[in-house]
Chains A and B, each alone.
Chain A
Amino acid sequence: MVEWTDEERKAITTLWGQIDVGEIGPQALTRLLIVYPWTQRHFGAFGNLSTYAAIVGNAKVAQHGKTVMSGLETAVKNMDNIKNAYAKLSVMHSDKLHVDPDNFRALAECISVVVAAKFGPTVFTASFQEAWQKFLAVVVSALGRQYH
C-alpha cells in the first residue's frame, strides 16, 4: 500500500480542490497530442489533428481531455486503495483500447506542466510538486497493472 504523509495528502487535496477538470483536462490532452505526436494514433476518429491550431480548437479533444481528467477523481477519493480502484479501467486500457502504458506517464507529465502553469511557483512549490507527481505516478502504475 502507498504511504502518504499528511503533507502529501494535504497538497493533493488542496490542488485537486482548485482544479477545474474542464479547464485542465483539455489543456493537458492538447499538450500530449502536440508534445508527443505519436499519441495521436489513438484518436483517428477525432477529426482534424493536422496542425497545432487544429488540435487546440478540436472539440472532441477538449471533451476527451475533460473525461480523462475527471477520472482522477477516483484516485482522490480512494487514495489508500488506488491500485484496486483502477483495476477495471486498467483492463479496459489494455484489452479494449490497446494503449501503451508509457502514454500514461507522458500524459501525467503534461498534466503536471499544465497544473504548474495554472498555480504558479508560490502554490506549486517543490513539495507540492513532489506530492502531485507521486500521486500521478501511483495512478499511472495502477492503470498499467492489469496489462498482460
Chain B
Amino acid sequence: MNLTAKDKDTVRTFWAKISTNAEDIGTDALSRLLVVYPQTKTYFSHWKDLSPGSAPVKKHGATVMAGVADAVAKIDDLRAGLLSLSELHAFTLRVDPANFKVLSHNILVVLATSFPNDFTPEVHVAMDKFLSAVALALSEKYR
C-alpha cells in the first residue's frame, strides 16, 4: 500500500490548513491516548502528571506533532527522512510499534472533532495511509 501522488497532495493541502493547530492537536491526541488506552501510560511513568492537558502532556504532544510536520515535509521518502527518529524509537525509547497505530487513530479522532468539514472521507483515507506509512518508517530499525 503506497502513497499515491494524489494522497501526498491531499496530505500536504490538509496539513497546510491545520498546521497552526499542531500543538493543540498533539496535546489532545496524546491526552486521549492515555485515557482511552491506559496501557500506554506505562511509557510515561517518569511524568508527574498524566492527566489530559497537563504540562508534560502538552510538551510531548507538541514534540510528537513536530515529528508529524517533519514527516509531511519528507513525504516523498519517509524511510530515509525518518531514519534517526526510527533509531530513537527502536534503540532508546523501545516503544512497542503497535502503539503507533493506536496513536494514529487518536490523531484521526482529534482531526475529526476539530475539523469536521475538512476531514472528508478522501482526507481521512489519505491521512490514514500517511500515518500508517509514518508508523512503518518509524518501525524500520526495530529488527
Give residues in A with beta carbon < 8 Å to B: 30-31, 34-35, 52, 55-56, 109, 112-114, 116-121, 124, 126-127, 129-130, 133
Contact = CB atoms under 8 A, between A and B. Distances in A.
Interface of B: 28, 31-32, 34-36, 52, 105, 108-110, 112-114, 116, 119, 121-122, 124-125, 128
B33 to A, nearest CB: 9
Contact of A56 (B109, B110, B113, B121): B121
B113 A127 contact: no
Nearest to A119: B113
Q: Is the interface of B mostly helix, strand, loop or mixed?
A: helix
The 4 closest A-B pairs by CB, nearest first: A126-B35, A117-B116, A117-B112, A116-B112
B121 to A, nearest CB: 4
A34 B122 contact: yes
B21 to A, nearest CB: 12
A130 B35 contact: yes
Given A117-B119, A126-B52, A129-B36, A31 B124 contact: yes
A127 B122 contact: no
A118 B112 CA distance: 8
A126 B32 contact: yes
